[in-house]
Amino acid sequence: MSMQASSHAPSSAHAAVHHDEHHHELGFWQKYVFSTDHKVIGIQYGITSLIFLFLGFSLMMMMRWSIAYPGQPLPLVGALLHKVLGDAAGAVMKDNVLMGYAMTPDLYNSFGAMHGTIMIFLGVVPLAFAAFGNYVVPLQIGAPDMAFPRLNMASYWVYFLGGVIMLVSFFIPGGAAQAGWTSYPPLATAIPTQGQTWWLVGMVMLITSSLLGAVNFLATIIQLRAPGMTWMRLPFFVWAQFVTGFLLLLAFPPLEAAGIMQLMDKVAHTSFFLPTGLAIGSLGHVSGGGSPLLWQHLFWFLGHPEVYVLILPAMGIVTEIIANNTRKPIWGYKSLVYSSLVIGFVSFIVWAHHMYMTGMGTKISTFFQTTTMIISIPSVIILTCIFLSLWGGSIRFNVPMLFALAFLPMFGIGGLTGLPLGFNFSDIHLHDTYYVIAHFHYVVAPGTIFGLFAGIYYWYPKATGRFMNDTLGKIHFFCSFLFMNLLFQPMFAQGMAGMLRRMHDGGANYSAATTTLGASLPESVLKMNVTVSIAAWCLALAQLPFIFNFFWSMKKGKRVTSDNPWQATTLEWQTPTPPPHGNFAKPISVHRGPYEYSVPGAKTDFTPQTEA
C-alpha cells in the first residue's frame, strides 16, 4: 500500500475546533437533548429513525391483514384503531352482532402513503446518512466534531419536528395523507382531508433537515480531515457519505420547491400542478394552466438519486466490515471510489424511467433507457470489487459479517430485477404491479437495511463499550434472512401475473370484476397474499431479538477489552471507548491507506492508519 507523503487537508480549521472544546461539565439537557456533539446527535438520529422504522413497519403489518383477509376484523388492534381514528376503521357486523373493526379502503390508502413516507424519509435515510454519518464520519477522518455543530443540532430537531407533524396528521379530521408517498396531483390536491397539507409541511421540514445535514457533511469532509488524510486515504464509507451529501444537496431543493408549490395549490388556490378544465370535486373552479406532470418530474428528479442516498451508505458500511473480516485489503479501492462518483453523476439523468406511462416520445424514452442501463455498470463494479475481496480471505463469520454478506446477493436481486423496469416496452406491463414493490423492497429491505443492521452490530462496541449478544444476533440474522425472502420473492410472481398494487383487498374485487374479460388473477396468485402476509408478521417477530439485544447489551453485554476490539485499521478505532468530547486523546496524523490488512512483514495482520 502507498506510504508516500502527501499534502493534507487544512489543519487551521481542525485546530480551531479543538480550541472550541468545552472544558466544563455540561448539564443533562445540553449534553443529551440539545447536544452539539456529533456522536450524541448520531445516536439521537439512530434511535429516532429506528422507532420510525418500527412504526412504518407496523402500518404495513396491518395493511397485510387487509390484503390477506379483506373485510375481516383486525385482530388485537382493530378496536384501538376505531377508538383513535373513528370510522376509518369500519365496524364488521354479523347477525347484528359487532364482530370487530376492519380497515376501510380510505384507511388502507392512508396507511400506504404514510408507510412509504415514514420508512424512506423518516427511517432509512436518517439512519443511513445522518445517524451513521454523524457518528462515524468525523471519527474516520480524524476530526474532533462536525464543521458546524449547532447546525448539526438544528438539523436533527427540524427532522424530529417534521416527523411529529407527519404522525399528528393521523389524528386530525379526515386522517393522514391518502395520495401515496409520491403525492401525485391532482389527486393529492383533490382529496378532502387536511392530512395532505400536514404531509407537505412535514416533507418541507424533512427536506430542510437533509439540506442542513448535507452542507455540514460536505464541509466537514473537505475541511476537517486529519493531517495526512488525503482523498485516496479516506475509508470508502466516507466516500459514500460524501457522494450522498452531494446527491441530497442537489436533488432535494427541486422537491422542496415543488412541495411548497403543491402546498400553495392546496391552501392558496394556485394552479402550479392543476390543469385548465379540471372538474374534480372541489377543484371545479381552479384557475388552471398548471401541469400534473411537472410534479412528477420534480419528484422523480429527487426520487432516483434518493435510491442511491439509501444504498451508498449501506455499500460503505458493508465495505468496511468485509475488509475487516476478510483480513485483507479491499480489491480495487480506486474503482470503488470512481464508481461511486459516476453513480452520483448519472443518477441525475435517469429519473424519467419512472414515467414511461406518461406518453413520452420514443427518443426521450430511448435516452432514459440508455442512462438507466449505464448506471447499472458502476453498481456492478462496486459489487464485483467486494466479491473479489472475499477471495482468499481469512473470513470471520461474526454477526456484522453475516449481514454484510447477505447484503450482496439481496442487493444483486434488487438490481437485476430493476432492469426490466428500465425498458419502456416491459415497464408498461409491469408498472404499478407487485413486481415493482418486490424490486424496490429487495433494494431497500434485505439490501440497504441488512447493511444498516451490519453497521449497528459493528460499531455498537465503539459507541457503548460492550458487544451485542452474538447468539441473539445470529437468531436475528437467520430469521430475518428467511422471512425477508419469503415476504418479497412471491411478489415477483404476483406482479408478472398482473396483480396491481394499492388495492386494499389484494386484488380480489378487481379479479372478480374482470373475470368475463379473461383478465382475472389465478387463484394461486391470490392465495399468495396469505403466505406473504404470514411471512411479514414472522419478520416482525424476528426483530424482537434485535430490539431486546440492542437495549439489554447496553448494560449487560460483554465488555470490550480494548479500544479496537475488531482489530481494524481505520481511525475510529484509535479513539477511547466510547469516544469523549473532541474524540481523540492526542493529535493524530495519517500515514497510510484505510485497508492495510495482512501486510507482509508486519507484526500483526492489521496496520492502523496512524502507524508510521
Cα-Cα-Cα-Cα dihedral of 609, 554, 127, 80, to 10°? Answer: 170
- pTM across the whole model: 0.92
Grid cell, residue 83, equals 377508538
Higher pLDDT, 517 or 464: 464
User: Predicted confidence band at 518 (pLDDT cuts at 50, 70, 90)?
Assistant: low
pLDDT on residue 521: 85
User: Predicted confidence band at 174 (pLDDT cuts at 50, 70, 90)?
Assistant: confident
pLDDT at 14 over 50: no
Average pLDDT over residues 225-230: 96
Q: Tens of pLDDT along 350-375?
A: 999 999 999 889 999 999 999 999 99
pLDDT on residue 464: 96
User: Mean pLDDT lowest for which of 79-88, 178-187, 451-460?
Assistant: 79-88
Q: DSSP string spanning 22-72? A: --SPPPHIIIIIS---HHHHHHHHHHHHHHHHHHHHHHHHHHHHHHHSTTS
In order of their start, the domains of the chain are 37-68+104-274+292-573 (1.20.210.10)
User: Predicted confidence band at 22 (pLDDT cuts at 50, 70, 90)?
Assistant: very low
User: Element (H or E) spanning 490, and its range?
Assistant: helix 470-496
Contact 435, 414 (CB under 8 A): no
Contact 490, 433 (CB under 8 A): no
pLDDT at 5 over 60: no
Q: C-alpha distances in angstroms, 46 versus 407, 449, 460, 513, 545? A: 20, 13, 12, 46, 18
Q: Tens of pLDDT along 112-159?
A: 999 999 999 999 999 999 999 999 999 999 999 999 999 999 999 999
pLDDT at 558 over 80: yes
pLDDT on residue 282: 60
User: Predicted confidence band at 281 (pLDDT cuts at 50, 70, 90)?
Assistant: low
Report the mean per-residue pLDDT for the chain. Answer: 91
pLDDT on residue 220: 97
